[in-house]
Structure 1
Amino acid sequence: MGSSAIQMVCVTLGVLGLIGVIVCCALPRWKVSSFTGANIVTSQTTEEGLWMNCVVQSTGQQQCKKYDSLLVLPSDLQAARALTIISCMLSSLSLLILFCGADFTTCVENEDVKPKISIAAGVGLLLAGILAIIPVSWSAHIVVQNFNNPINMSQRMELGACIFIGWAAGALLLLAGGLLCCVSRSGSGSSGGTAKYYSNSASAPSKNYV
C-alpha cells in the first residue's frame, strides 16, 4: 500500500512536470525586453520563445511572428527546441510505462516484472528532467551574459517566465524519477526475498514425528 501511494505521488509529479515542459515549449516567454535604462520607451514589450517572437503593446494588443527559418536561429535556440520536444516525448512515454507497471493497476499481472517496469519509467523521468533543465539553463546563461555585455545596452533581455517554469518542471520530473527508482528497487528486493523465503520453505523436507 505504501508503494502504491508513492507511485501515485510520482505520477502526479510527473504529470505536473510534463505540463510545465509543454507550457515552456509553447509559450513565447523565454526572453523579455528589459527596462533598466533612463530613456527607454515602455509602450511595448518584446517577448521571444522557441517558435516565435511577440510584441505586446501597452494597450494589451499582441502581435506575434514565427521565425523565418530554422537555419538562421542561434545554436541555443535550436538545441532548446530539440531537447524540449524530446523531454515531452520521453516524460509522456515514461508515464505510460509507469501506469502499466504500477502496483495500483492490473495491466501487468506478473508481480516480479512490475518493479523492473517502474524502474524503467523512473529512469525515463530522470532523463526527461535533465533534458528539460539543460535548455533553460543554457538560455538563462546566454541571457545573463548578454545582459552584462556593455555593447548591447539598448537591446537588453531578461529571463522570461518559461525559464523558471522549465526549472520547476525539470525538478518535478527529477523528483518523480528518483522516488520511483528508490521505491521500485526496495520493492524488488523485498519481493525477491519473500519469494526466496517461500521457495526455501516449500522445498524444505517435512518431518513427521510420531
Structure 2
Amino acid sequence: MANTGLQVMGLVLGVAGWVFGILVCAAPGWRVSAFVGDELVVSQVLWEGLWMTCLSQWGRLQCKVYDSGLALSGSAQMCRGLSVLSLLLCLLALPLSVTGLKCTRCLGDAHETKARLGRVGAALFLAAAIFFLLPVCWTAYVVIRDFYDPNVAAPLKRELGPALYLGWGVTVLMLVGGALGVKDINLDKLCPSAHL
C-alpha cells in the first residue's frame, strides 16, 4: 500500500510540475529591467519572456509577442525549444504513469508490464526536469553575466525575473515526482517483519 501512495504522490508532483511549467514557459517574467544607470526607475519596468515582452508603466501593462522567432538570438531559440520539449515529455509521461499505477486496472493483472510503464513514465518526468532546468539555468547565467559585464550598456542590463525562480521550483517538482516513480520499492525485501 505504501508503494501505491508513493506512486500517486509522484504522479501528483509530476503533474503539478507540468502545469506550473506551462505557466512559467508562457510567463513574460524571465528577465526584468528596472535599472537605468545607477537609479531605480519604478514607473517603467520591462518584462521579457520566451514568447513576449511586456512593458509596465504607471500601472498599465502592454504586452507584445515577438515578431519573429527566427530573429531571436540562438540562446533564446534554444531555451524555447528545450522548455517546449520538456512540456511535451511531461504530456507523454502522464498517460504512461497513470497506466503504470498499481491502483489502476488498465492492463488487468499484467503487473510487470504496468511496472515497466510506470518506470518509463517516471523516467520521462526526470528527463523533462533536466530539459526544463537547462533553459532556466542558461537564462540566469546570461542575465548575471551581462549584468556584471562593463561593456553592456546600463539600459540593456537585466535582472533575474520571478519566472526563473518558479522554473527552479518546477524542476524540483518534476524531479521528485519522477524519482518517486522510477524505483519500485519492495517493502518485503527491505523490512521482512513489516507484515507481522
TM-score normalized by the length of structure 1: 0.84
SS in 2 for 1:103: coil
Equivalent in the alignment of 1:208: none
Deviation of the 1:71 alpha carbon = 1.6
Percent sequence identity over matched residues?
34
Q: Secondary structure at the match of 2:87?
A: helix
Structure 1 residues 8-57: Cα deviation after superposition (integer angstroms, max 9, x where no partner): 10011111111121011111010001337444543110000111111001
Counterpart amino acid of residue 61 in structure 2: Q
4+ residue runs over 3 A deviation: 36-41
Match of 2:176 in 1: 175
Deviation at 1:164, TM superposition (A): 1.0
1:144-159 matched pairs, under 5 angstroms: 144-151=144-151, 152-159=153-160
Question: Aligned pairs, how many?
Answer: 187
Counterpart residue identity of residue 155, structure 1: L
Report what 2:116 is aligned to.
Answer: 116
Conserved 8 A contact 2:82-2:131 = yes
Please tell me whether residue 89 in structure 1 is matched to residue 74 in structure 2: no
Distance in structure 2 (CA, Å) of the matches to 1:36 and 1:5: 52
CA-based RMSD:
1.8
**Contact 2:11 / 2:181 at 8 angstroms: preserved in 1?**
no
Write the distance in 2 (CA, Å) between the matches of 1:37 and 1:108: 63
Aligned to 1:32, the other structure's residue is in SS state strand
Task: String of CA shifts for 1:37-93, please: whole Å, max 9, x gaps.
Answer: 4445431100001111110012x2111111111121011110111111111111121
**Separation (CA, whole Å) in 2 of partners of 1:91 and 1:79:** 18
Contact 2:36–2:155 (CA under 8 A) maintained in structure 1: no
Alpha-carbon distance in structure 1 between the residues aligned to 2:64 and 2:91: 29
Q: How does 1:62-73 map to 2 (within 5 A)?
A: 62-73=61-72
| Contact residue 43 and residue 57 of structure 2 kept, 8 A | yes
Aligned to 1:17: 17
SS in 2 for 1:112: helix
> What secondary structure is seen at the aligned counterpart in 2 of 1:64?
strand
Report how far residue 96 of structure 1 moved.
1.2
Given that 2:28 and 2:54 are in contact with CA atoms closer than 8 Å, whether structure 1 keeps it comes out as yes
| Distance across 2 between alignment mates of 1:126 and 1:12 | 14
Give the Cα–Cα distance (whole angstroms) in 2 for the partners of residues 104 and 7 of structure 1: 9
Q: Distance in 1 between matches of 2:70 and 2:97?
A: 37
- Tell me the amino acid that sits aligned with residue 179 of structure 1: L
Aligned amino acid, residue 21 of structure 2: V
TM-score using structure 2 length = 0.89
Counterparts of 2:105 and 2:9 in 1: how far apart (Å)?
18
Match of 2:74 in 1: 75
Q: Which amino acid in the other structure matches residue 133 of structure 1?
A: L
d(CA) in 2 for partners of 1:147, 1:49: 17
Q: Distance in 2 between matches of 1:15 and 1:114?
A: 19
Mapped partners of 2:41, 2:81: distance in 1: 35
2:61 is the alignment partner of 1:30: no
Alpha-carbon offset, residue 158 of structure 1: 0.4
Gaps of 5+ in 1: 191-210
